Structure 1
Amino acid sequence: MLSFVRRRVVLPLFIICIAGIVLFTGGFIFFADRVTTLEPPDLTRAADGIVVLTGGYSRIEGALDLLKNKRGERLFISGVHPTTNRSQLQRVTGGDATLFECCVDIDRSAMDTVGNAAESVKWAHSNRYKRVIVVTNNYHIPRTMVELRRVSQDIEFIPYPIINTNLRDGDWITRGMVLRVLLVEYIKYIGAEIRSRLPASFAGLAGSVRNSLPSF
């Protein structure tokens, strides 16, 4: 009886677990290599607008540079803390006051990437924008694009990665903090992919897993 259980239950479960670990590890290595080798896109052709998601170092500064260089007509900063006003944000980022006044819109309602995507699409639709540059950190690009495309299929989103650390030589695997950030983001990315394929009535179940993970 014991040998039967081992052959029919334990062994298949063991094989499934090993296969799952191999797939997860292989997927993570592919994900990490992909995000650490991302490069800014060719923006010879300007977009209609620019969206930047708050939460990471240098994101807003990078988006303001794009706006200043006329890569888009307006900039939408999504996920600003409710207590932060326009003047404070302008001073902290070192942005041009005139540019802030004329061409920057601020969202204070989004609390996470899902909210960023929803508010960004609303903004793009309200301005009738069809081509939008999306600025965020390189490791955050895949999940951001999944969430944006889940909300809207009629807007062309152009990912613009902010790269704070050069990891193109693959040394991310030896940096503890970087490895942790990439691993957590990979798990969140898997959750976003699953949610994007679920019926709307079930999307909240995957969302609960996402909300239990630390934010970056």
Structure 2
Amino acid sequence: MSLQPDDKAPNASMSAPRGWLRAVVVAALAIVFVSAAIGFVGFLSQLRGAEMKPASPADGIVVLTGGSSRVSDAIELLAAGYGKRLLISGVHPTSAASDISRSLPDNQSLLSCCVDLDHSAINTRSNAAETRRWAHERGFKSLIVVTSNYHMPRAIVELSHAMPDMTLVPFAVVGDKWRDEPWWTNGATLRLLLSEYVKYVAAEVRVRLADAGLELAPEPDEPPTGSIAPPRPATAQTN
């Protein structure tokens, strides 16, 4: 009686490593998904659902452009004496103080005496760099930061990294859509939050690596005081 070769044994031995590898990949993806979900919940927990006035004044106020009512809320804080001066960071290159004054006719005196415009910043990181230059030139030690609630976590990460010696007081602007309906029922709001969460995580990773001495994307040198900033595209990045 002749013996037939057993073809099943090699196949079984080959399928075992493949099954183990597949299990590892699935487990790794599951860990990444759960970690991202937990991180997203943590990110959402930082977002304020209502606007709260600062407990006390600061030396200055900075507002990062890109969302509705940010500038008007910052002007109101300045008018109420919450800061000595206001920096509007990320103003479009073609916009001037007169353009802003037309939209805020009741505060023209403040705009002419106590408001500075930054036309150089094109994103949150450059907002932080320009704010640092502005605040240090004036000897400020504390700032009220005005931006949208969904943008505030990333703004604080960038500003804290740029100015570790500065006391930052968040003033989160809450949009009408946020008040009117739950964020999870609106597809556009959900996409905005997911996009902002990804940017926030990227900023956190870059800042932590920089603190450890690994600067993956070095910050460009600041122009000397009074120098003309280089031109930027017609449309600035929305924060």
Normalising by structure 2, we get a TM-score of 0.80
8 A contact 1:77–1:106 mirrored in 2: yes
Q: What aligned pairs does 1:33-52 form with structure 2 within 5 A after superposition? A: 33-37=45-49, 39-43=51-55, 45-52=56-63
8 A contact 2:48–2:172 mirrored in 1: no
* 1:64 corresponds to which of 66, 71, 75: 75
1:30-86 deviation digits (Å, cap 9, x = unpaired): 32243143642533x211000000010000000000000010000000000000111
Q: Tell me, in whole angstroms, the C-alpha distance in 1 between the residues paired with 2:42 and 2:19.
A: 34
Question: Aligned-pair distance for 1:204?
Answer: 1.8
Higher helix share: 1
Question: Aligned-pair distance for 1:201?
Answer: 5.5
8 A contact 2:54–2:169 mirrored in 1: no
Q: What aligned pairs does 1:22-41 form with structure 2 within 5 A after superposition? A: 22-37=34-49, 39-41=51-53
Question: Aligned-pair distance for 1:197?
Answer: 1.0
8 A contact 1:75–1:103 mirrored in 2: yes
8 A contact 1:41–1:160 mirrored in 2: yes
The reply on whether 1:12 has 2:24 as its aligned counterpart is yes
Could you say which residue in structure 1 is the equivalent of 2:232? Answer: none
Q: Tell me, in whole angstroms, the C-alpha distance in 1 between the residues paired with 2:166 and 2:108.
A: 29
Q: Tell me, in whole angstroms, the C-alpha distance in 2 between the residues paired with 1:164 and 1:100.
A: 24
Could you say which residue in structure 1 is the equivalent of 2:199? Answer: 188
Q: Tell me, in whole angstroms, the C-alpha distance in 1 between the residues paired with 2:106 and 2:151.
A: 23
- Number of equivalenced pairs: 206
- Tell me the amino acid that sits aligned with residue 98 of structure 2: S
Could you say which residue in structure 1 is the equivalent of 2:216? Answer: 203
The reply on whether 1:110 has 2:110 as its aligned counterpart is no
Q: Tell me, in whole angstroms, the C-alpha distance in 2 between the residues paired with 1:148 and 1:167.
A: 25
Q: Tell me, in whole angstroms, the C-alpha distance in 1 between the residues paired with 2:102 and 2:22.
A: 61
8 A contact 1:51–1:120 mirrored in 2: yes
What is the RMSD computed on CA atoms of the aligned residues? 2.0
Could you say which residue in structure 1 is the equivalent of 2:110? Answer: 99
Question: Aligned-pair distance for 1:4?
Answer: 1.7
SS of the counterpart of 1:154?
A: coil
Question: Aligned-pair distance for 1:202?
Answer: 3.6
8 A contact 1:36–1:168 mirrored in 2: no
The reply on whether 1:55 has 2:55 as its aligned counterpart is no
- Tell me the amino acid that sits aligned with residue 97 of structure 1: Q
Question: Aligned-pair distance for 1:5?
Answer: 2.4
Gapped regions of structure 2 (runs ≥ 5): 1-13, 219-236
Instruction: Tell me whether 88-97 or 150-159 shows the greater mean CA deviation.
Output: 88-97
Question: Aligned-pair distance for 1:167?
Answer: 4.3
SS of the counterpart of 1:136?
A: strand
Instruction: Tell me whether 173-182 or 63-72 shows the greater mean CA deviation.
Output: 173-182
SS of the counterpart of 1:109?
A: coil
Instruction: Tell me whether 17-26 or 133-142 shows the greater mean CA deviation.
Output: 17-26
Q: 1:165 to 1:151 in 2, by over 3 A?
A: same
- Tell me the amino acid that sits aligned with residue 92 of structure 2: H
Percent identity over paired residues: 40
Q: 1:189 to 1:95 in 2, by over 3 A?
A: farther
Normalising by structure 1, we get a TM-score of 0.88
Could you say which residue in structure 1 is the equivalent of 2:233? Answer: none
Question: Aligned-pair distance for 1:90?
Answer: 1.4
